[in-house]
Amino acid sequence: MKIFHNPDHRAHSGRHEMYRGRLVACHEVPARLDHVMNELQHRPMGELLAPPPAPRARLERVHSARYLDFLAHAWNEWVAQDPANAEMDVLPSVWPARGFRSDVPPDNFSARVGLFSFDAGTPLTAGTWQAAQTGAACALAAADAVLAGDRSAFALTRPPGHHAGPDFLGGYCFLNSGALAAQALRDGGAQRVAVLDVDYHHGNGTQTVFYDRADVLTVSIHGDPRTEYPFYLGHADETGEGNGLGTNLNLPLPRGTGFDTWLAALDTAIARVHAFRADALVVPLGLDSFEGDPISGFTLRSADYPRVGERLAAMGLPTVFTFEGGYAVAEVGINTVNVLEGFQHTRA
Ligand code: SP5
Ligand code: ZN
């Protein structure tokens, strides 16, 4: 499979995220992607390619113009507020809750950051926009490869994407790679596209992008939002709305869930994708279901991941993978390539 990697990913390197009233070191670090690249040197899965730039019009298929403008100018506005800000990451500290307005972006930059965010764990840095744009380009290039006839392609990029919505960042995500790939597949001629999100955390951004649409099925297997991030979305009773009623499936599992139960959920997810008669598949591939993940609660082992790839390959659909979470940094390369290897050696 073609692997589109992000040569600009290091430009996004946050210093800290807010956790229990303190700033702590970021979990979403450049070394994550370096480990995957390194593992791919030992176990090649396909051609490593840099993507062509992403035209703004393709980003606007998923994200609002005002949000993209905000991201494009955020760092300069931050530094314009106070030159000393250049030494610090942007993090929000005020947000519009229910009853507040979100239709009037404030002139005040700090207030605008909160309008376009849902947590204080997603630092925006000098190079974030560059890294995010090239990351989106990886997702679009992977979709284009599949549209051109490839069986599969991998958008190997960070920052991750699946928590980012039409108009908001959060969960270490800025532009939603999986949603951009799914939309690109639709725009390129796929009639029905399924997104099967296997990251430990609910794919709230992707769900929100497609919630009222019948042409894109969104399925997510994740830690139960009653106890797990992102908390405010991802319950089993969220099934879609309007035209999209019945085209969202959430499979929340309790913290502590092991591979057998997880795999049964994957089979449920796969059956739904088949019932939907999808003609292309996007897999937001988070490796934070791993037992050693420092911020997550499932107990999958490295040896389980090839079987995940096998199950996905057996679906027989043109497939785009996007790289999402996975914070056991030393193992994230092995676990990622284990999924790809299982996929590659399996015929539908
Ligand atoms: C893409 C993805 O996996 N995003 C996950 C975002 C989770 N953010 C909240 C994590 C809070 C955990 N902080 C724990 C610090 C303790 N050392
Ligand atoms: Zn995650």
Tens digits of per-residue pLDDT, 65-107? Answer: 999 999 999 999 999 999 999 999 999 999 999 999 999 999 9
The crossing angle, in degrees rounded to 10, of helices 30-42 and 329-344 is 40
Q: Is the pTM of this model over 0.95?
A: yes
Nearest to 16 by CA among 121, 169, 164, 161: 121
Q: What spacing in Å lies between the alpha carbon of 325 and ligand 1's midpoint? A: 9
Ligand 2 ion: Cβ-proximal residues, 5 Å cutoff: 199-201, 286, 288, 325
Q: Please give the pLDDT value at position 347.
A: 87
d(CA 171, CA 204): 10
Nearest to 16 by CA among 90, 82, 105: 90
Q: In which residue are the tokens 């679009």 written?
A: 140
Q: Identify whether the C-beta of residue 183 lies closer than 8 Å to the C-beta of residue 59.
A: no
Atom number in ligand 1 closest to CA 286: 3
The residue whose CA is least distant from atom 2 of ligand 1 is 325
The residue whose CA is least distant from atom 14 of ligand 1 is 295
Over the stretch 37-71, which tens digit does the pLDDT of each residue have? 999 999 999 999 999 999 999 999 999 999 999 99
* Residue 245: other Cβ atoms inside 10 A: 12
- Catalytic residue of the set 163, 201, 202, 222: 163
DSSP-assigned letter for residue 170: B
d(CA 249, CA 240): 8
Nearest to 128 by CA among 184, 94, 175, 81: 175
Q: What spacing in Å lies between the alpha carbon of 336 and ligand 2's midpoint? A: 14
Percent composition of the chain: helix, strand, coil (DSSP 3-state, to 5): 40, 15, 45
Q: In which residue are the tokens 């393709």 written?
A: 58
